[in-house]
Structure 1
Amino acid sequence: MSETIEAGIARVTSARAAGRHEEALELALELAAEHPDDARVAYQAGWAHDKLGKESAAVPFYSRALSLPGLSPVERHGVFLGLGSTYRTLGRYEESLETLRRGVAEFPDFAPLKAFLAMTLYNCGEHKEAVSTLLNLVLDTTGDSSVKSYSEAIALYARDLDQVWD
């Protein structure tokens, strides 16, 4: 009898956490072959490929994970981040942009998605929106009192970086 999906995922994540990335990939691929319609398994297989710099091979697993039910919110925003970042790394900027925008729309409070969205916006030549996204991210996440003291001005420029006054 084969192990449960949960036990298999635990073995994959344990190997990855211990830095045994090749082992994690082997385990993830075995699990994915046994459970091709499990979103959590597909996510782990995508992540295992990503950790080894095998971005092209990660894409189908991440895509499958997003297309299937069964991911927790934490896993789901992880898949959006993984797939969006992977597309960006591969130079597939429009797919990255679409994926990360979907992720931000679904998880507006998950700051890392906004950071990766800003990078992709830059790659797409959308420099103004990229900087605006980063400025808003700084305002939303900083604990630095000196930055907070300029929050009104930073928010103003985040809305319109090209604003000039006489």
Structure 2
Amino acid sequence: MEHHEDKDGLLAEAVALRQEGRREEARERLVALSARWPDDAGIAYQTAWAHDVLGLEAEAVPYYEKALGDASGRLAPDDRRGALLGLGSTYRVLGRYEDAVALLTRAADEFPEDGSLRAFLAMALYNTGRHHESVSLLLRLLAGTSEDPSVRTYRPAIEHYAEDLDAIG
């Protein structure tokens, strides 16, 4: 029987390989770890990420879904946020725009402080033809997060028009 620290150590080694740029080797190790511990949410998330960074988006999806779904051991909040962003972005790249909008909307509600989720949601909204909603979301994000002095000066106006881009006056 494997000890818990063995699993953690093997996972850490695989993640380190990815961080060192040895992405294919990391992916191979993570796929093996996923087969060995199929119900581990953390391993599933890291395996999804390893596929994603190699441009293997379709292969990443089931790992992301497992990490966020029924896998045992809930993800830490930062990993959950990363998995939601990764899966939403991957759905979008694969042309699954409605799935991306639905997932990223829930993710942005769950993590309202994360501007990257709203940025990716705006892209997915654009892809579904919801251009007004997309631009409005981006303008609110810009107004709320920009450190640019000129944007900050016009923040009230940007926020006002973000609510109704067709408003006059």
What is the TM-score when the length of structure 2 is the normalising length?
0.94
Which structure 2 segments of 5+ residues have no match?
Answer: none
Which amino acid is the alignment partner of residue 16 of structure 2? S
- In the alignment, is residue 127 of structure 1 matched against residue 134 of structure 2? no
CA–CA distance in structure 1, aligned partners of residues 43 and 105 of structure 2:
24
Match of 2:78, SS state, is: helix
- In the alignment, is residue 81 of structure 1 matched against residue 85 of structure 2? yes
Q: Percent identity?
A: 50
CA–CA distance in structure 2, aligned partners of residues 136 and 125 of structure 1:
19
Name the counterpart of 2:63.
61
CA–CA distance in structure 2, aligned partners of residues 4 and 112 of structure 1:
34
Name the counterpart of 1:38.
40
- How many residue pairs are counted as aligned between the two chains? 165
Which structure 1 segments of 5+ residues have no match?
Answer: none
Name the counterpart of 2:164.
160
Name the counterpart of 1:12.
14
Name the counterpart of 2:98.
94
CA–CA distance in structure 1, aligned partners of residues 11 and 78 of structure 2:
15
What's the CA shift string for 1:7-48, capped at 9, x where partnerless? 122112211111111011011101101111011000011001
The root-mean-square deviation of aligned C-alpha atoms, in Å, is 1.2
Displaced runs of 4+ in structure 1, greater than 6 A?
Answer: none
What's the CA shift string for 1:82-102, capped at 9, x where partnerless? 000000000010111111111
CA–CA distance in structure 1, aligned partners of residues 10 and 68 of structure 2:
20
Name the counterpart of 1:23.
25
CA-CA distance at 1:5 after TM superposition: 2.6
What's the CA shift string for 1:59-107, capped at 9, x where partnerless? 0000010013420110000000000000000001011111111110110
Which amino acid is the alignment partner of residue 147 of structure 1? V
Match of 1:109 among 108, 113, 123: 113
CA–CA distance in structure 1, aligned partners of residues 162 and 14 of structure 2:
41
CA–CA distance in structure 1, aligned partners of residues 61 and 120 of structure 2:
16
CA-CA distance at 1:121 after TM superposition: 0.3
What is the TM-score when the length of structure 1 is the normalising length?
0.95
Match of 1:97, SS state, is: helix
Alignment of 1:131-150 (within 5 A): 131-150=135-154
